Amino acid sequence: MSKAIHQGRNVKRFREMLGLKQEGLAYELGEEWSQKRVSLLEQKEVIEQELLEQVAQVLKVPAEAIKNFDEETAIYNIQHNYDGSNVGANNSNGPNTQFTFNPLDKLIEVMDENKKLYERLLEAEKEKNNLLQKLLEDRQ
């Protein structure tokens, strides 16, 4: 019997890993979104496929990752697959397998992308504020 995966909780996990607040995700999802609506989304065990794909696109992760991510399995895999844990084991890759990427490099890449996203969000907010200020001045 497999454990049900809480998709809303996974949205929250990915959002937090990217350092994105609920307000930021709401902004990226569009005008009809608010912090409250994102909060409600993160409470849903199952998210409709179309919405899931929209959220995944904003978070820049595959929709399948949100659907299938299981924190306990990930922790188990990390604990049991660290460098040196399988030395001498009879695996198909050999005991001294070298991988072509560093997970920390990938994390830093994602954080840099998040920083750029945040800067774009701030710039958009500044533009919006300037436009609103100009509209107010024009009305007076």
Q: pLDDT band at 21, cuts 50/70/90? A: very high
- pLDDT higher than 60, residue 104: yes
Tell me how far apart the alpha carbons of residues 24 and 125 are, in angstroms, rounded to a whole number: 11
- Tens of pLDDT, residue by residue over 61-91, are 889 888 887 776 666 666 666 655 555 444 4
The amino acid sitting at 71 is E
Query: Can you give the pLDDT at residue 47?
Result: 94
Q: Tell me the residue range of the domain where 12 lies.
A: 1-82
Q: Measure the CA–CA gap between 80 and 75, rounded to whole angstroms.
A: 9
Rounded Cα distance between 123 and 97, Å, is 45
pLDDT tens digits, one per residue of 114-128: 888 888 989 989 999
Q: How far apart are CA 35 and CA 30, in angstroms?
A: 11
Computed over every residue of the chain, the mean pLDDT equals 82
67 Cβ neighbours under 8 A, 6+ residues apart: 5, 7, 10, 52
7 confidence band (pLDDT: 50, 70, 90): very high
CATH number at residue 38: 1.10.260.40
For residues 12 and 65, state if they share a domain.
yes
- For residue 93, is it within any domain? no
Q: Total domain count for the chain?
A: 2
Is there a domain that residue 68 lies in?
yes
